[in-house]
Structure 1
Amino acid sequence: MRASLLRCFTISALSMVLACGEPEDDAVDGGEDAGPQPTCESPPELELGDPDGHAEPLGAGPGEARAGRIAGDALPPFPSGLGMWDEGGFLLANDRVAMVIEDVGPSHLYDPWGGRPLGIARVEDGALVDVGDFGEILILTGRYTVMTTSVTVLADGSDGGAAIVRASGPLRALPFFEAITARRLSTEFEGVDAAIDYVLEPGSSHVDVRITYASSLAFPTGSITTMHGFMYTPRMPAFAPGPGFSPQSVSVDAISYTDERGVGFVYEVPGDDLSVGINASGFESRFTARRPIADCGLTTVEHARLTIGGPGVDALQRAHAEENDVAMRTIEGVVRDASGAPAAGVRVHVRASEERYLTRSLPTGDDGRYVVHVPASEGALELFAYRQGDALVGPVAIDAASTTRDLALGAGGWVRVTVADESGAALPSRIQVLPLDGASVPSVPSAFGEALPTSGRVQVALSEDGTETLRVPAGRWRVVMSRGYEYELESRDVEITSDGQTIDVSGQLARVIETPDVQCADFHIHTRRSNDSADDVTYKLRGAIADGLEIPVRSDHEFAADFTAEVGALGVEAWAYGGIGSVEMSSMELWGHMGVVPLTPDPTQINHGTPLWQEWPTPEQPDLPLRTMSPVEVFDAARARPERPTVIINHPLGDTNYFGYVGYDPVTGTVEREDDWDDEFTAVEIFNDADWRRERERLVVHWLSFLDRGRRVFAVGSSDSHGLDGSPVGYPRTCMALGTDDPRELTPPGVRDAVAQGRSTISGGIYVDATIGEAGPGADVVAGGARATVHVRVQAASWVDVDAIEIVVDGRTLDTIEILPGDAPDPVARPHVRFERDVEFDVAEGRGSYVIVAAYGDATLEPVHRGRVPFGVTNPIFVTR
């Protein structure tokens, strides 16, 4: 999560709430400053149901709905592996759809209290099928939700009526976003119990969510600001007819969360609009009309309706139309290649106008057939056909009376690529196809929701074995083969002149950078286990492997994980070590983010053993105050774990990041919040998807301020990649002296110690070595006099720009040396060594000096990493006389 996003989130959240049409404040009598409040003589009570429900909840036939406990072995796995419903719970099902609801108890993800939906599926032949990649729904009353003390079955459906699962308990503020919402949504609801009812009727495809409030307060609490929250939405892209796959900034009457491998759901409040709420960093919310809670009584409100359908957008929209008795028109046909053969893997998109997108098909199969459905009331429409690697076809008009239309793609062919090393062995690699001679790169409107490759590319493949077959339109193209910064790249120009043509391309990549016993890590990689990333974990790992990163480290928000299973599944143990578990703890817009490295995931623990940064009430301690712990308290608890992890302060600048929060002044070395200042951290993410010159007058100044005062703080460089297509893994990377070149010989403690002790350099394409005698970064050296000599070597592949070196001694630039072609010591035998020279500097009396060496260029790392600027920098070497 970027620091700039965090600042925007905190500032814009309140303005977005106000912009949605809500009154400026929901505080009323009974707020937190109103003092003791009168209570009812006879407080109302919520009804509880049966603790188990129907004995066979998955056996509903036509005209039935059932609710009851379900054994974990009846639950199929999530296709993505991210589901949390293996722990069992309650099943709400008829013969069409099903929802699984968590039992009472501590819960994974962000809502900690159980009693919430865990997943959705279709029901077919008495089994759950087409499991959706469900994330998390936050069922909110203002900023409060039910602290679940019981989950029961209110109606098991055996009477032929609706099946109902009820989660009940007192209202409590939802912990994770209290810092964002407490000032705006200030009404307090202590003294109000509530029950969330999940209601499924026989023959229905929707689940109604109702909330019954039981207020023991003898005064009106006023109207509720109704907020609807969604987490992990990148796993199920949001969609609404009209804006299509870009609905976040507009009010809608319903919003769909879609899945092409499983079912999705349409979320709505019938009769009400979903106004824009707080949308940032993976958290999305909507606001609906205020509703009152009666004093000393029961109040039931219709909170939301979830219609389940799919797979895909079109099937979900069709299920929603059926539930609302909306007549639909079917449009179908065949998509063919330019040669007339059926085309597989094509989506057909439908829109009524440029401003009003309607639906899209699933990708076509081998027969090229597609089918879509639109409301029967729609008139003339526009059809489009798109397949990655082909030009977008359309608009193709279809009038209001037609139900069939075939479509034809433009001419295109295939490029079959093989990449090897100099010995001919298969080599993991990044393979890209770029345009030549004005060839047009296909583009698609954002409303269509297509995942396009990196801008300016027709195709980008991240191959763990160096072989790919890629579709490209007719025309001239350049195929670029690369393997990160330690290798030269190769390119081949090709021309597709006829439809269906296949061209074979091969390349051998030479490794030219000398890094014996050094391996590089990216400690800040997000996958779709994070609430704000859409990237599949295997896709993210492929990105690391293809770009030559040996130590990819997952840093998912609030969930401990590593890449061990994925490295094994891909069979790439010789190229990468996936055994470094980690987590990024976020403090959600308060005092910043930190990486905890290493952290061993524990599947038996909540969020796999992620350390906590908050305390909150529980059914066992219902009056425990919600408290966000201090940074020092959290850091100490993390470091006390058995793994003895290192804490990395991530992107520390900005009011809601650590240095900004504590008010650290690099000029004076003082902080405003002394109780929150930690004196033990040794690693700071100085380079977060950023280069030396960008950070030279920002974070580098802070880094040097620690070193100037004798505190040994070391720099880390990481990508903070949330979306691989725009943020490559391993730019930059932290390269550590680990005593081996084989990833299979690495251990978490070895990597931990190298980071904590500064035995590392940062590479954004350039590799800088600095040694004093045999000592490198992080080491202590005795100079034996008033001056010392540092040996500097700068390496870069020929496609990486290197312009200058900056020598920093004791916080000041000793020299900036322009690198000229003649500076290469051996341009024929070792052209990758751009500079190698001894540099002398004075050593201060007393505590001594430190030296840092940085190198940089100004031309970007095209064609490999678009928009990134090359650099390299060492951690300090410490010298005394």
Structure 2
Amino acid sequence: MMTSMRPALVGAALVATLGSCTPTTEDRASARVISDLGDAIGGPKALAGPGDFVLENGRVRVAILAATNPDGSERHSPGPHTRAGSLVDADLVLPDPDHRRGRGTDQFAELIPTGNMDITYTADPTSVRILADGSDGGPAILRTEGPREPFITLLDALWAITGAPDFYMSTDYILEPGKPWVRLETTYHYGPDAPYTDVVPEPMGASDHGMPLLEWALETGVVGGDFYLSGGSVDVFAPGIGFDEDGAVARADNTFDVPFQFPFVAGTANGVSYGIAPAEGDAYVPLFTSSQTVVVGAGRAGDPTDRDRFPDGTALRYDRYFFIGHGDIGSIVDQYVEVRGIPYGTLSGHVLEAHTGLPMSGANVFVYEPGAEAPWSQLGTDVHPDDDIPDGSFEGRMPTGDWEVQAHLEGRPVSARIPITVVEGEAIDMSLVLGRAGALRFEVRDEMDQRVPAKVTVMRLDQASVRNPLLGDGFIGGSPAAVAFSMYGEGTMELPPGRYQAIASRGPEYEIDMSEPFEVDDRSGADIELVVRRSVQTDGWISADLHVHGVASHDSSVTRAQRVGTMVAEGVEFFASTDHDYIVDYAPVVEELGLEQWVQTAVGVETTTIELGHFLGFPIGVDHLEEAGGAFDWTGARPAEMLDALRARGQGVGHDPVTFVGHPRDGILGYFDQYGFDPYSGTPGRGGAPGTPSVRRPLLSLTNPLLDPGSISWTFDGLEMLNGKRFELIRTPTAPEHEQFACQERRDGALCERPMGSDVNVDVYDFMTRTLAEQQDLIDGKYTLSGEMEGHIDDWFTLLNLGFKFTVLGNSDTHGFTGVESGCPRNFVMAETDDPAFLDDQAIADAVKAHRVVASYGPFVQLWGNGEPIGSELVTTGEVELAIDVQAPTWMGVDRVELYENGTLIQEWEVEDIAVVDRFQTTYTVTPTRDSWYVVAVASDDDMRPVLTPVELPYVELQAVVTEALGSVESVGSLVSPAAPIPRTYPAMPYAITNPIWVDRDGDGFDAPGNPAWLVRPR
């Protein structure tokens, strides 16, 4: 390792580059209304359009949503928020003309000012307006103001208990000439005559030593902050955790009670970066999830005996900065040290390749506090807009003091850390040398010796860690060195020197192939050929993923081409675009990539409400001239209205869409959880008509009129009962299983005395499966199902018993690449052709409506009744011969097969562990004594890594985080039930379930059997 360091005084040229400049005409700030789409910012995440506002100077530009649409109607955020007045777009101003006229690079989702988790109610047309347009040479200022309202109505329920302090919020977005940041000043006004224009606001108060956030927010005072939603295109960074926010959250405990504390929060994207920091003190992050992040920077204790906590006429102000950089964290730190007046020096240099001395453009330079595990800052090479020479150069400011510097580039050995001392006003120039990588070149062919799309997973044989999430490599469960999704069956990977093995896969219809061990070093690579052979016979069926996200969703960064690539590599033959409130069409991308023979697509959408559940549908129409492709505004709509709107989007272009509910037991995002669907009661239907489900309204939904039980709708076609890798949501466990698991959690995995006498630990596989012994115990009343949670399949069984004929679906809900793979799970859908090039999206939708679907994490299961397939309704008074066939590739386990009649397990089969594709075939004769339905489930506790990654970082459920936090608040803790302990980490395991075969004994329409007698409400 060779380095050189040269201290020098910062020259005038450097000051001109990094520091503020004398304002010129080009640097002047301006505020204006967007006149047309060409006047907007644009970019992968851009939301602002005509009628919204732009603040711009010669360096940066941001967009804030207006209070009204151009037609005068109330404006609602098309992003993850609901109200106007939020900052939705942010970008650099670049000289390239291709970057203008609405063709920017915005990749930020949304920033919403908050006080006590409340937001600004911006229904008044004047509640978002320009205060200063910058024409006088001063700052451009835009103000949003209005009374407070809860971000979610769950908070209204809390305010009903603790007493809601009334206040009025006003936020000024201030852009100064020549500055690459926006200053936000939010004032909280207390009293009936707010806002108080003649009162000078007091600074709210900042801290470097912690804040009692929950106490102040819920009981005694006020905390100021922002919902800081970076979005899926931004890789979040914070000093002390680096780029590994997911790992930090997994290791943390009750972050509302003990929030993360950082000097700033930032993130990088392609060509642009973002950050936020209070004007004083540290930033506190009590909520750090993929869907919601809160950054708090100030607070003040009030008078707990005063309902409003502060005297009338009080005005408190919280100031912070929103930074826009040029693609690295260093350009955020440049601004942070300037606005905070922190003494600094400059770090610059080059990153070079060992032996060759070639510049390593694209490498990252990380700066650590001495001995720290995670970096404090990151500087990119060749990222400055004015740097058009790929020479591996980097440059940025650093606070004075001792630091350690290290170069890193994914796929290469990391450099050693070099200690430096930064002195105020001086510069350090250094060269860092990165080790060379070895190249793996691969080809993947099928049994016909044709190259085919495939996934190639590379494992390091000594199990040494190759990827470092702290440094932005991204976490992948199971610790592979690399994963490639090849559209055309060939590719190249860079790997650090070492011994490896590669595994080629193409989804659950194909066998995998493992290479011989191979070695790469810094002077030579390896060439391998792998074969994936189709072994599972699915003639007449296609593999479909009907819940899919890409870059059009605020929480995904996957481009359309990348998403198509993941689908064909995983053997998915049909998928629907279902981005959050955004309609896109993948067909032109598939055609451009030349992949029509492998995959077909449909246009769809996910209507993503904050509190009413998520509703999906396809095929629908896309309107490229409308905002968000023509997605409708669901604000204030009830479920039936949203479902009608989904259907109308399809009917308008000659389609009859299929509609379904996504992940209905996903807490605050779950339709059944929010409305309180009760699986233990209900009135069964007669003569083919559905009955009446039971709804028990949850306490925390009482303040939302849209969650009134009368608003629930059952007019959809399907239910997504398998979602991503949420194996813990598949079934309701028995009470003893859940008690045992809870005991294990309390004892950190130690054996507990199980209520039914077994000393075997319980895991998610026990939750997912039901045995005949357990079924008999339930029938005998020895115990009930758990009352702590409800599983998707058990909900579906109840609805089937009430006479509803919802199609069960399994979809990936994928947002990325490897956390939840495309097609994990998937649907095997009966189709007239299984050639993707000839698939018809309406025919697939019709097949889903007709229940011709098997939802699966891998196994292909077929069920017939008297020779008729799933979805059929037989009319007979006699015996019904059920035929079951299970196929799986030889690398996948199948341990058990379960047969259900009207939700009761009536037969089980243990499957022999043999390496054959035709895993299980049998016939079983039933003689229904009443109208009945039959379903088959297949399961295994086989770990499917490395084909499917295990869940090693727990899913962060927003509702669980909030309820855990509220449990520690004295005034409300007794009213909030803590989240039930459930399995959060586990391998991806084979599981599949068929749709029903119905038997109508008398031919006068299906008379729903009602719930079985053993299904009683848990005690």
Q: TM-score by structure 1 length? A: 0.80
Is 1:758 the equivalent of 2:851? yes
Q: Describe the superposition over 1:668-697 as per-residue Cα deviations: whole angstroms up to 9, x where unpaired.
A: 344335535544444222222337854345
- Identify which of 654, 672, 688 aligns with 2:696: 672
Counterpart contact for 1:490–1:508, Cα < 8 Å: yes
Q: Distance in 2 between matches of 1:738 and 1:160?
A: 66
Corresponding residue number in structure 2 for 1:336? 353
**Count, aligned residues:** 790
Alignment map for 1:368-379 (pairs within 5 Å):
369-379=392-402
| 1:69 Cα deviation from its structure 2 partner | 4.1
Q: Distance in 2 between matches of 1:576 and 1:671?
A: 41
Change in Cα spacing, 1:209 to 1:431, as seen in structure 2 (3 Å) is same
SS at match of 2:376: strand
- Identify which of 51, 54, 61 aligns with 1:98: 61
Counterpart contact for 1:234–1:282, Cα < 8 Å: no
| 1:502 Cα deviation from its structure 2 partner | 2.8
Q: Distance in 1 between matches of 2:570 and 2:400?
A: 51
Change in Cα spacing, 1:551 to 1:443, as seen in structure 2 (3 Å) is same
- Identify which of 282, 291, 295 aligns with 1:282: 291
Is 1:844 the equivalent of 2:861? no
Change in Cα spacing, 1:285 to 1:67, as seen in structure 2 (3 Å) is same
Is 1:67 the equivalent of 2:11? no
Is 1:157 the equivalent of 2:141? no
Alignment map for 1:562-573 (pairs within 5 Å):
562-573=585-596
Change in Cα spacing, 1:861 to 1:836, as seen in structure 2 (3 Å) is same
- Identify which of 416, 433, 448 aligns with 1:394: 416
Corresponding residue number in structure 2 for 1:119? 89
Counterpart contact for 1:206–1:323, Cα < 8 Å: no
Corresponding residue number in structure 2 for 1:262? 271
Amino acid at match of 1:695: M
- Identify which of 233, 236, 239 aligns with 1:235: 233
Amino acid at match of 2:616: G
Change in Cα spacing, 1:229 to 1:667, as seen in structure 2 (3 Å) is closer
Counterpart contact for 2:139–2:175, Cα < 8 Å: yes
SS at match of 1:140: strand
| 1:779 Cα deviation from its structure 2 partner | 0.8
Q: Describe the superposition over 1:101-137 as per-residue Cα deviations: whole angstroms up to 9, x where unpaired.
A: 4444224224455444342233344966773412111
Q: Describe the superposition over 1:495-517 as per-residue Cα deviations: whole angstroms up to 9, x where unpaired.
A: 33542313221223221221122
SS at match of 1:675: helix
SS at match of 1:525: coil
Alignment map for 1:204-353 (pairs within 5 Å):
204-211=179-186, 217-218=192-193, 225-245=223-243, 246=245, 250-252=259-261, 254-290=263-299, 301=317, 303-325=319-341, 326-337=343-354, 341-353=358-370
Q: Distance in 1 between matches of 2:575 and 2:330?
A: 37
Counterpart contact for 1:857–1:870, Cα < 8 Å: yes
| 1:310 Cα deviation from its structure 2 partner | 1.8
Change in Cα spacing, 1:187 to 1:832, as seen in structure 2 (3 Å) is same
Change in Cα spacing, 1:210 to 1:871, as seen in structure 2 (3 Å) is closer
Corresponding residue number in structure 2 for 1:795? 887
Amino acid at match of 2:471: F
Corresponding residue number in structure 2 for 1:358? 376
Q: Distance in 1 between matches of 2:544 and 2:413?
A: 38
Is 1:415 the equivalent of 2:440? yes
Corresponding residue number in structure 2 for 1:432? 457
Q: Describe the superposition over 1:692-711 as per-residue Cα deviations: whole angstroms up to 9, x where unpaired.
A: 85434543333223333443
Q: Describe the superposition over 1:77-110 as per-residue Cα deviations: whole angstroms up to 9, x where unpaired.
A: 745x221245464443333333234444224224
Q: Distance in 2 between matches of 1:431 and 1:449?
A: 21
Counterpart contact for 1:347–1:364, Cα < 8 Å: no
SS at match of 2:368: strand
Corresponding residue number in structure 1 for 2:937? 854
Counterpart contact for 2:45–2:89, Cα < 8 Å: no
Corresponding residue number in structure 2 for 1:201? 176
SS at match of 1:652: coil
| 1:798 Cα deviation from its structure 2 partner | 1.6
Corresponding residue number in structure 1 for 2:799? 706
Q: Distance in 2 between matches of 1:682 and 1:645?
A: 9
Q: Distance in 1 between matches of 2:552 and 2:445?
A: 33
Alignment map for 1:538-549 (pairs within 5 Å):
538-549=561-572
Q: TM-score by structure 2 length? A: 0.70
Q: Distance in 1 between matches of 2:589 and 2:398?
A: 43
| 1:232 Cα deviation from its structure 2 partner | 4.2
Q: Distance in 2 between matches of 1:655 and 1:214?
A: 34
Q: Distance in 1 between matches of 2:135 and 2:710?
A: 60
SS at match of 2:848: helix
Q: Percent identity?
A: 25
TM-align CA RMSD: 3.6
Q: Describe the superposition over 1:782-833 as per-residue Cα deviations: whole angstroms up to 9, x where unpaired.
A: 45x52122222221112112233222233333322233378xxxx9xxx522
Corresponding residue number in structure 2 for 1:30? none
Alignment map for 1:476-625 (pairs within 5 Å):
476-496=499-519, 498-588=521-611, 591-603=612-624, 607-611=628-632, 613-615=634-636
Amino acid at match of 1:313: I
Q: Distance in 1 between matches of 2:48 and 2:147?
A: 24
Q: Describe the superposition over 1:418-467 as per-residue Cα deviations: whole angstroms up to 9, x where unpaired.
A: 1122333331110111122x2523142x4433324443211100111111
Q: Distance in 1 between matches of 2:33 and 2:597?
A: 45
Q: Describe the superposition over 1:523-573 as per-residue Cα deviations: whole angstroms up to 9, x where unpaired.
A: 233334444445444433322221011222343334444533443443322
| 1:874 Cα deviation from its structure 2 partner | 1.6
Q: Distance in 2 between matches of 1:571 and 1:171?
A: 54
| 1:484 Cα deviation from its structure 2 partner | 0.7
Counterpart contact for 2:404–2:417, Cα < 8 Å: yes
| 1:313 Cα deviation from its structure 2 partner | 1.1
Corresponding residue number in structure 1 for 2:108? 134
Alignment map for 1:15-54 (pairs within 5 Å):
none
Change in Cα spacing, 1:515 to 1:316, as seen in structure 2 (3 Å) is same
Counterpart contact for 1:321–1:328, Cα < 8 Å: no
Q: Distance in 1 between matches of 2:666 and 2:96?
A: 54
Q: Describe the superposition over 1:388-444 as per-residue Cα deviations: whole angstroms up to 9, x where unpaired.
A: 2223333343455893443344454111111122333331110111122x2523142
Q: Describe the superposition over 1:139-173 as per-residue Cα deviations: whole angstroms up to 9, x where unpaired.
A: 23551315151455433333332233x34564352
Amino acid at match of 2:62: M
Is 1:879 the equivalent of 2:999? yes
Q: Distance in 2 between matches of 1:361 and 1:112?
A: 35
Change in Cα spacing, 1:597 to 1:60, as seen in structure 2 (3 Å) is farther
| 1:737 Cα deviation from its structure 2 partner | 0.8
Q: Distance in 1 between matches of 2:320 and 2:360?
A: 40
Counterpart contact for 2:41–2:106, Cα < 8 Å: no
Q: Distance in 1 between matches of 2:319 and 2:452?
A: 54
Counterpart contact for 2:608–2:615, Cα < 8 Å: yes
- Identify which of 911, 918, 925 aligns with 1:833: 918
Amino acid at match of 2:333: Q
Greater Cα shift, 305-314 or 605-614:
605-614
The gaps in structure 2 that reach 5 residues or longer are 1-22, 69-74, 197-219, 250-254, 303-307, 384-388, 683-693, 698-708, 732-764, 771-790, 950-986, 1002-1019
Counterpart contact for 1:359–1:374, Cα < 8 Å: no
